[in-house]
């Protein structure tokens, strides 16, 4: 082509040059375009070079039309991207760009005592939900509803419950039960029953030697700083607090599996430290194969009547191998019965599989934790190491029977995925949560006294039957709380029973700091889950309760909770007023001309000739 033959203005020359570049680009990319059916497939590409260029003004018009279309398409893409990056609601943010997986749970509904007077559930000492919630809030976003498990928020903290029986705790008598009856601070019509179980705290020197296998995810998804680097630091912290007679093995898994460190005595700390420091990430995630290899290592170092524990340390993103949760749970259940516990420690964000990690730990009678900071690693793997390794009460189950003459309705706060059948309580073959040394478990029921108006109307045809019930006697119990547990190495459970009496009632302003703080955390969890029960309760009130109930707070955990509640309050207020809705960014888009096909250029050329 001889563009110099055109005697046109500088603008026209520029446009013609642009079109020429487009033609050359079209010649190089013709494979992806539709060719005129009249054109022979064997026609040389060079024939396109013989087509004369279109008139400059026509090129300008078409270029302008293309530019408008391109800009509209690009702005549509940018608006979609902006909706992801700058959402009006934080929950949408995480659903839009994250692949994190959480079990879908519905808040426990109000239950009629006449229809279902007995509530049964398993103990839960997991804390993963709390630290994961903290990660969201500290990053400037409210957590998704399903990431919040109210009972794990409550049980993240330790409580010094009184021992009503004044009995001395021991390995033979490992737990104590206490209850509280007080007003519901978010519903003047209701009351709260708090159930607290505390476990025996033996001297750390009393525990048996431990055979520990770290199953470490070194797949490509673990490369970021908050994953493998933090994981390695956490392992080193834990290593420094193990006994010299303990043994450690390290199994890694990615596309394949390997034994990074065979079972080694902690007295050879340098070898273990070197193995930890040598861990690096890369590959996909064959977690099921890693679990099998970890169990083989656990069996090689198995300590009869001792502590045998596998720690899965991962983001939970198992994308290769036996990923069906039921299959994994069955395998872990088999090994649990053989004496090997299984805990999960989660790391990272973006692809964290909370659902899988929690279920595997529950099945393995271990603990599901989540480490977002080295501070959390200190708490979980150092301060609470004895609780994790030294189980003092196995298969701990709760059962509460409510008296229909005293209570018309009840609602359990949290424990949605820990519910048991009524018959499971007395079935010693039914697995439940374990309690380690020094653990405390708290459960809170909201009840409606029989004399008050409830949410559920009485059944019409049971009115006469209910009227025939004898009037309650003086100080008749509202409920009976039962706890079953097995002593260490025992297969037969024991039952602990205590009744909740009206005379125990304490005004909310007069309850202990521990109880007020636990109730504040329970209210906060319900707010994060969007439970309408606490719609009228303000974050400011929750913050006030928690701030006045911090107590000694040796490690600052309660003070940190207050900060998280304050941040949540600010973010919620901003969202409701749309004060922090970020504007859609303006992009300076320079549209690129779309190369024309041969057919289109022929049509344009014919149009140009017809206009002369």
Give the CA distances from residue 139 to residues 94, 133, 143, 355, in Å, rounded to whole numbers and listed in that order. Answer: 12, 10, 10, 21
> Cα–chain-centroid distance for residue 73?
37
User: What is the end-to-end Cα distance of the chain in Å, rounded?
Assistant: 21
- Any idea where the domains of the chain sit in the sequence? 3-85+592-610, 111-202+391-456+483-577, 209-389
Burial class (CB in 10 A: 0-12, 13-18, 19+), 80: exposed
> Cα–chain-centroid distance for residue 299?
31
- Sequential DSSP letters for 455-495: SSPPPGGGHHHHHTSPPPPTT--SEEEEEEEEETT-SSEEE
Q: What is the mean pLDDT of each run of 10 residues along the chain (612 residues)?
A: 43 50 47 42 42 45 52 46 39 51 93 96 96 96 96 96 82 94 97 96 84 93 91 96 95 89 96 95 73 94 93 81 74 94 94 92 95 96 91 96 96 97 96 93 97 84 55 84 92 95 96 97 97 95 97 94 96 67 40 49 61 58
Residue 412 main-chain phi, psi, to 5 deg: -90, 130
Q: Whole-prediction pTM value?
A: 0.77
**Angle made by CA atoms 37, 38, 39, in degrees to the nearest 5:** 90
Strands (E), 379-465: 391-402, 407-412, 433-436, 440-449
- 339 Ramachandran zone, left/alpha/beta (phi>0; psi -120 to 50): left
pLDDT at 336: 94
pLDDT at 163: 83
**How many Å apart are CA 500 and CA 509, to the nearest integer?**
20
pLDDT at 475: 80
Asked if 356 contacts 325 with a C-beta cutoff of 8 angstroms, the reply is yes
**How many Å apart are CA 17 and CA 4, to the nearest integer?**
10
**How many Å apart are CA 67 and CA 73, to the nearest integer?**
10
Per the DSSP assignment, residues forming a β-bridge with 211 are 247, 308
Convert 215-250 into a string of H (helix), E (strand) and C (coil). EEECCHHHCCCCCHHHHHHHHHHHHCCCCCCCEEEE
**How many Å apart are CA 443 and CA 429, to the nearest integer?**
23
pLDDT at 437: 92
**How many Å apart are CA 579 and CA 132, to the nearest integer?**
26
Fold of 209-389: Rossmann fold (3.40.50)
pLDDT at 48: 40
**How many Å apart are CA 102 and CA 86, to the nearest integer?**
23
Q: Could you tell me which residues come within 8 angstroms of residue 236 by beta carbon, excluding any fewer than 6 positions away?
A: 273, 276
**Would you say how long the chain is, in residues?**
612
Give the CA distances from residue 148 to residues 106, 136, 151, 315, 405, in Å, rounded to whole numbers and listed in that order. Answer: 11, 11, 9, 18, 34
Residue 559's SS3 state is helix
368 membership: H or E segment, kind and range: strand 365-370
Asked if 506 contacts 535 with a C-beta cutoff of 8 angstroms, the reply is no
Asked if 353 contacts 101 with a C-beta cutoff of 8 angstroms, the reply is yes
Asked if 407 contacts 449 with a C-beta cutoff of 8 angstroms, the reply is yes
- Sequential DSSP letters for 264-324: EETTSHHHHHHHHHT----S---HHHHHHHHHHHHHHT--TTSEEEEEEEE-----SS---
Longest dimension (CA), the chain: 112
463-493 per-residue burial string, b: 16 or more CB within 10 A, e: under 16:
eeeeeeeeebeeeebbbebbbbbbbeeeeeb
Burial class (CB in 10 A: 0-12, 13-18, 19+), 167: exposed
Asked if 179 contacts 196 with a C-beta cutoff of 8 angstroms, the reply is yes
**How many Å apart are CA 576 and CA 578, to the nearest integer?**
6
Asked if 280 contacts 228 with a C-beta cutoff of 8 angstroms, the reply is yes
User: At what angle are helices 228-239 and 269-277 packed, to 10 degrees?
Assistant: 170
Q: Could you tell me which residues come within 8 angstroms of residue 282 by beta carbon, excluding any fewer than 6 positions away?
A: 218, 219, 220, 223, 254
Per the DSSP assignment, residues forming a β-bridge with 500 are 479
Asked if 430 contacts 484 with a C-beta cutoff of 8 angstroms, the reply is no
Q: Could you tell me which residues come within 8 angstroms of residue 557 by beta carbon, excluding any fewer than 6 positions away?
A: 156, 157, 379
For 440, the token pair is 């405390």
Give the model confidence (pLDDT) of 367-384 as tens digits: 999 999 999 999 999 999
pLDDT at 511: 97
Among 451, 432, 431, which residue's Cα sits nearest to residue 441? 432
Among 29, 62, 67, which residue's Cα sits nearest to residue 48? 29
Give the model confidence (pLDDT) of 423-475 as tens digits: 999 999 999 999 999 999 999 999 999 999 888 887 777 654 455 456 677 78
- Sequential DSSP letters for 573-610: HHHHHTTT-PPPPP----PPPPPPPHHHHHHHHHHHHH
**How many Å apart are CA 317 and CA 449, to the nearest integer?**
47
């Amino acid at each position: 082509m001889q563009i110099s033959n055109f005697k046109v203005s500088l603008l026209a020359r520029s446009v013609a040059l642009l079109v020429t570049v487009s033609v050359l680009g079209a010649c190089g990319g013709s494979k992806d375009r539709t060719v005129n059916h009249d054109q022979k497939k064997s026609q040389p590409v060079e024939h396109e070079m013989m087509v004369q260029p279109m008139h400059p003004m026509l090129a300008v018009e078409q270029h302008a039309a293309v530019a408008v279309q391109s800009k509209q398409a690009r702005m549509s893409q940018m608006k979609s991207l902006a909706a992801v990056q700058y959402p009006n609601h934080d929950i949408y943010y995480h659903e839009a760009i994250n692949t994190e997986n959480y079990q879908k749970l519905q808040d426990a509904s109000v239950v009629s005592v006449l229809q279902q007077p007995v509530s049964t559930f398993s103990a839960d000492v997991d804390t993963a939900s709390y630290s994961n919630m903290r990660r969201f809030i500290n990053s400037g976003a409210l957590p998704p509803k399903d990431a919040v498990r109210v009972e794990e928020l409550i049980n993240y903290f330790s409580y010094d419950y009184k021992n009503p029986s004044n009995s001395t705790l021991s390995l033979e008598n490992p737990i104590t039960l206490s209850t509280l009856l007080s007003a519901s601070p978010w519903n003047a019509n209701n009351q709260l029953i708090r159930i607290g179980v505390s476990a025996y705290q033996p001297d750390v020197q009393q525990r048996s030697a431990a055979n520990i296998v770290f199953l470490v995810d070194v797949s490509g998804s673990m490369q970021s700083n908050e994953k493998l680097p933090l994981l390695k630091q956490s392992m080193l912290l834990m290593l420094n607090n193990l006994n010299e007679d303990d043994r450690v093995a390290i199994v890694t898994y990615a596309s394949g599996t390997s034994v990074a460190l065979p079972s080694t005595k902690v007295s050879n700390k340098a070898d273990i430290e070197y193995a930890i420091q040598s861990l690096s990430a890369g590959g996909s995630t064959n977690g099921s194969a890693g679990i099998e290899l970890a169990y083989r290592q656990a069996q090689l170092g198995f300590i009869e009547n001792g502590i045998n524990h596998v720690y899965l340390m991962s983001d939970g993103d198992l994308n290769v191998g036996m990923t069906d949760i039921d299959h994994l749970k069955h395998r872990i259940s088999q090994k649990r019965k053989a004496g090997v516990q299984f805990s999960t420690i989660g790391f990272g964000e973006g692809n964290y599989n909370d659902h899988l990690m929690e279920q595997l730990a529950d099945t393995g009678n271990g603990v599901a934790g989540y480490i977002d900071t080295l501070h959390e690693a200190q708490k979980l793997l150092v301060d609470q190491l004895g609780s994790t390794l030294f189980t003092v009460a196995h298969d701990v189950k709760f059962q509460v029977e409510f008296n229909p003459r005293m209570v018309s309705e009840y609602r359990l706060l949290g424990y949605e995925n820990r519910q048991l059948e009524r018959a499971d309580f007395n079935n010693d073959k039914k697995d439940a949560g374990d309690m380690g040394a020094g653990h405390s478990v708290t459960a809170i029921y909201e009840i409606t006294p029989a004399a008050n108006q409830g949410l559920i109307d009485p059944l019409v045809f049971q009115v006469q039957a209910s009227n025939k019930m004898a009037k309650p006697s003086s100080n008749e119990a509202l409920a009976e709380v039962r706890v079953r547990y097995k002593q260490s190495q025992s297969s037969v459970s024991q039952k602990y029973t205590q009744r909740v009496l009206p005379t125990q009632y304490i005004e909310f302003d007069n309850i202990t700091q521990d109880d007020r703080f636990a109730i504040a955390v329970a209210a906060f969890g319900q707010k994060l889950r969007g439970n309408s029960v606490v719609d009228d309760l303000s974050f400011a009130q929750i913050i006030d309760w928690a701030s006045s109930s911090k107590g000694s707070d040796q490690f600052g955990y309660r003070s940190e909770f207050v900060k998280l509640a304050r941040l949540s309050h600010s973010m919620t207020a901003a969202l409701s007023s749309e004060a922090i809705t970020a504007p859609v960014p303006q992009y300076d888009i320079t549209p690129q001309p779309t190369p024309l096909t041969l057919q289109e250029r022929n049509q344009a050329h014919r149009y140009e000739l017809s206009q002369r």
